[in-house]
Amino acid sequence: MALDPDFKKWLEKRFKNKVKFNESMAGHTSFRVGGPADAYVLPERLEDLVELVNRSRQNGLPYTVIGGGTNLLVKDSGIRGIVICLAKCLKKITAKNAGNRSVMVTAMAGARTKALCRFAIDNGLKGMNFSLGIPGTVGGAIMMNAGTVYGSMDGVLDSINVLMPTGRIKKIKRENIDFSYRSVTWDEESRNSGGTSPIILEGCFRLYASDSTELKTEAEAILKIRKKRQPTSSYSAGCFFKNPESGKPAGQLIEMAGLKGKKIRRAQVSRQHANFIINRVDSSSGATAADILELMNMVQERVSKMFDIKLEPEVKIVGT
């Protein structure tokens, strides 16, 4: 859908150098691939975000909200409509005592997950170390119910504030949030919002007083293990496939299928961890989204044929 000239003029006037047109998404995703967005906008305040969403709805323009672009694969054809990036706004993290040695930490959606972990450690608050090394922003981590072998968001999240497509801000308490593996949903009003998902603005996390030195020691050990086991220095989107509900994890199935190290042009199944697809970028070239998708399909077909298991992507695939 092409941008209406009048809407484009409004974007230019309203957001100035914070809007870019026909902007390649390769520079905004950890995979370093992706075609152009019709408009890429970096709102600086909540008021900017609300107005942008309202105007987009009024003009019938779809919008896609991203954070750090770390669990995202954008197709080579790009994204139509508006891409709204929250990584430059909604970054505040605060805390208040909640009694019984518990503390409520509120982190806005644009804050980096690692910043939330660091805040918790610095303030002697236990509960967030499970997410050490998880890239991206708090909003994305909540949407994905992000987790590791040490825990997941559903273990600490107490409530969220969301921006409804109508422009209303709504608080959703934990008891009204449905947590599942790598996803969250909530009440009927939010789910039936005209096909447009509400935008998470912030999450409130219940953490507990602990010793900052002990937390730091634990954090160093967790990060050391993660660096040893995962290709943290490569261009990827983290674990590519969800683990099956039972049986062996995705990475082990892929390795057993003989696909560890398998390449399609510049896309490769990591030799370090088979559930990572990496973009082997060098000074002259790199993978395309099509290369990564082709490799994804190959992995799915081989695992399905050998083990009768259909691996589902954990990475969010967007674009036309």
Beta strand ranges found along the chain (DSSP E): 19-24, 36-41, 63-66, 72-74, 79-85, 93-99, 102-108, 125-126, 147-148, 151-152, 157-163, 169-173, 178-180, 183-185, 199-209, 235-236, 263-264, 267-269, 277-279, 316-318
- For the question of residue 175 being annotated catalytic, the response is no
Helix H segments across 33-184? 46-58, 113-122, 138-143
Answer for the pair 316, 73: CB distance below 8 angstroms, yes or no. yes
- For the question of residue 239 being annotated catalytic, the response is yes
Catalytic residue among 23, 202, 255, 314: 314
Measured in residues, the chain has a length of 320
Catalytic residue among 239, 255, 266, 302: 239
Catalytic residue among 80, 112, 182, 266: 182
Strand, helix or coil at 280?
coil
| CA R_g for the chain | 20
> Distance between CA atoms of 246 and 228, rounded to whole angstroms?
26
Helix H segments across 101-195? 113-122, 138-143, 188-191
Answer for the pair 209, 125: CB distance below 8 angstroms, yes or no. yes
Cα 18 to Cα 45, 70, 104, 202, distances in angstroms: 12, 21, 33, 22
- For the question of residue 85 being annotated catalytic, the response is no
Residues that are catalytic: 182, 239, 314
